[in-house]
Chain A
Amino acid sequence: MQMFNYLLSYLINNVFILMIGMLGVYVLTGLTGMFSMGQAAFMAVGGYTAAMLAKFLHWPLIATLPASVLMGALFGLLIGLPAVRLRRDYVAIVSLGFGEALVAFLNNSASLTGGALGLTDIPKYTNEYIIIGALVLIIAFIWNFKKSRFGRQCIAIKSDELAAASMGINVARVKLLVFVLAGAISALGGCLYVHTTTYLDSSAFGWDQSSMWIIMVFFGGINSLTGSIFAGIILGLIPEILRFSNELRIVIYCLLVLFIVNFRPEGLFGTVEWDMRTIRRGIGKLSGRIKAVRARKDVK
């Protein structure tokens, strides 16, 4: 029971928050096909904004949250503007470079941000309900986004940019929108992260974190939001359940992913989403099978 409680708390306070950051990668890379390699930097943007506003200006959560989101959106715009004009492969390098540059900057501007030591004693504003609520809300937003004309346009762009443009889709504009959205989402995660752990250090926001998110989105099935959620939970929890050293966890983690790459490249869920229709169909199939088994038993 102790273990379960501990795991639950870990799930909510750590995994869920990082999942919010990951969902930024889902929107950018999973839905729209742009390789975002430095997404964790947007979480840093949100986190540092919230931390500084809360610690130095004593703003409450109700204010630091929108401020972080706005900053994330702004940075998304800044990075998106050059990125969407360059070739698709270059989005990767631009986001990567941005991530590295931001981390370097935060590490070195000691007076403002506490440098490599990080800020401490940030007010703890969050509790489990807020975190769960935020995650559920973000998932709902992204779900609706995906089922809207925007989601369809994103998937179209990912699948075939040329054909998408010939349908009248303004590819550059949609990509930019997605950059802004993804930045906002990851920044939100950052704000919650900072207010939960009450200290922050830039090592959580580097390339290792960004790649972890990409792996999660891919593991779940690139198109599938449900997949990303499951992947986030599974890949977030497993290392904690197997309470090994930090490096061994990552090794096991990587082996798991490489296994999936080789034997189920479309990811766990592929393109399947657990929306109402699929769930109903699944239940229908299941009850059909149960009936068939019963019928066979009766005949005997």
Chain B
Amino acid sequence: MNYYIQLLVNGISTGAVYAIIAVGWALIFSILKFSNFAHGGTMVCSAYAGMLLTRLVGANLPLVLVISALFGGLVNVGVEFISFHRLRQSSKQVLLYFVSSITMGLLLQNIVALKFSGIFYSFPNFFPVRFLNWGGITFDVADITMLCIAAVSIAALVTVLRRTRVGISIRALSMDLGATSLMGVNVNFVVLTTFFVAGALAAIAGVFVGVRTILSPQMGTLYTVKGFMVCVIGGLGSLSGALWAAILLGLVETFLTALIGAGLAPVGTFLFMLVFLILRPQGIAGQFVTDKA
């Protein structure tokens, strides 16, 4: 019994990481209607930046998180300028955004690999006591902290979206870009803000991945793929969907890993996703939009 609860706890923790990534991804998709495949690249850049920071300031988690988040936000803004800015003005072809973001992601990942590949880097231990044992179940303090921070970040995001002007602009943009710009909203500013926020979230996720596991440049590709999967299952463009889907996927993966091993888990995940999409094509929270003929 304890074993299953342990798995549950692990699954939720994994899901929390996915949630931070996916929410950032869904944010960008909801306003721009395309998938930013460079998201993982931003994440890995910020994670390594955070690691470098610890060399300077030591194991100071709050500081590292904040500065990484800022860094991630800036990187993501850069991504927007290089990859998407001109495309948004001219072309509407989805394939172009697709290729542009994939390339950007590859670029970021390989810049990191250029400097840091070969050796595995990791964060110093932020927590004096890493593992707590309670009722026969081991809790990773890092995971708990991350869960709290994830919850706080997402709650903060939701508050911003609901209560602030920028937030309302973002939501308006997600519904109708043209009309929003006609309402006097500076679309470019809002888009950049969104990218910044998404980048900050990616950075936070990156730091935590680095804390739970080892840092490697391949993280970028790996989490890009995961983020995409989560968003599709959650329903493209839906933030709440992304949240639930992330936790769901985290649980599924953890259980699958326990069942068939970490190596074969992706196969199970893929089949799960396939079946899910066939049964519920719009994802958890998505909606069908029919073309006007």
Contact = CB atoms under 8 A, between A and B. Distances in A.
* Any A–B CB pair closer than 8 Å: yes
Interface of A: 29, 33, 35, 82, 85-87, 89-90, 92-94, 96-98, 100-101, 103-105, 107-108, 162, 207-208, 211, 214-215, 218, 222, 245, 247-248, 250-251, 254-255, 257-258, 261-263, 265
B58 interface: no
A281 to B, nearest CB: 27
Nearest to A254: B107
B82 A258 contact: yes
* Interface size class of chain B, counting residues whose CB lies under 8 Å from the partner chain: 35 or more
A166 to B, nearest CB: 9
B104 A265 contact: no
A265 B96 contact: yes
22 contacts: A35-B95, A93-B232, A94-B277, A96-B225, A98-B270, A101-B267, A101-B271, A104-B264, A104-B265, A162-B293, A208-B106, A211-B103, A211-B106, A214-B102, A218-B99, A247-B114, A247-B117, A251-B111, A258-B83, A261-B87, A261-B100, A265-B93
Contacts of A87: 281
Contacts of B228: 92-93, 96
B99 A215 contact: yes
Interface in B224-278: 225, 228-229, 232, 236, 261, 263-267, 269-271, 273-274, 277-278
B113 interface: yes
A86 B282 CA distance: 10
A99 B17 CA distance: 23
Interface in B86-108: 86-87, 90-91, 93, 95-96, 98-100, 102-104, 106-107
A207 B264 contact: no
Contact of B98 (A35, A100, A254, A258): A35
A90 B103 contact: no
A103 B225 CA distance: 14
B265 A262 contact: no
A107 B267 CA distance: 11
A15 B83 CA distance: 27
A95 to B, nearest CB: 11
Given A93-B232, A101-B267, A108-B263, A248 B114 contact: yes
B110 interface: yes
A94 to B, nearest CB: 7
B262 to A, nearest CB: 9
Contacts of B83: 258, 261
B221 interface: yes
B162 to A, nearest CB: 28
Interface string B174-213: 0000000000000000000000000000000000000000
A251 B99 contact: no
Contacts of B281: 86-87, 90
Interface in B16-60: none
A240 to B, nearest CB: 16
B278 A86 contact: yes
Contacts of B113: 247
Contacts of B270: 97-98, 100-101
A94 B130 CA distance: 38
A258 B103 contact: yes
